[in-house]
Amino acid sequence: MNYRAVETAGEYVARLETGADWRGEIEALADEVEADAAWFTALGAVQDAELWFYDQTTCEYEPIAFDEPLEVASCVGNVSWLENERFAHTHAVLSGPDGTAYAGHLNEATVWAGEVYMRVFEDGLERAYDETTELDLWL
């Protein structure tokens, strides 16, 4: 296992803007506070969403599109550098009017309302290509 002790440089709460992109808003917050590495949890609701599922055989992400309002019952992720940009690796659990849950890697979603708690770490994290999984991983 690869691990690293981290120290927190700052903590933030944010309200995501209605109509903006969920992940884009988290990355905008990271840019604003100059986070080189961060961890976040969030909750709220979205107007639509695109989840991604990683196919471990083809090593490619497959999109799953939702064109309806959904609750964001859980959102966990982290910020690190990927190809010279801050990237918010974001997983989410969404739910519909009957409580049915959908989940996966959140690529994009239009915010209805969103509440985020983010911890920014002193030392940065940077993603690099991992040959085994063909994913960009840190540490």
At 119, the amino acid letter reads R
Residues 6+ apart with CB under 8 A from 113: 15, 16, 18, 44, 45
In whole angstroms, how close is the CB of 10 to its own copies at the nearest point? 6
Q: Are 59 and 131 in contact, with CB atoms under 8 Å apart?
A: no
At 24, the amino acid letter reads G
Tokens (6 digits) for 25 = 């808003």
At 65, the amino acid letter reads A
Phi, psi for residue 52 in degrees, rounded to 5: -120, 140
State how far the Cα of 137 lies from the Cα of 129, in Å rounded to an integer: 6
In whole angstroms, how close is the CB of 81 to its own copies at the nearest point? 14
In whole angstroms, how close is the CB of 131 to its own copies at the nearest point? 10
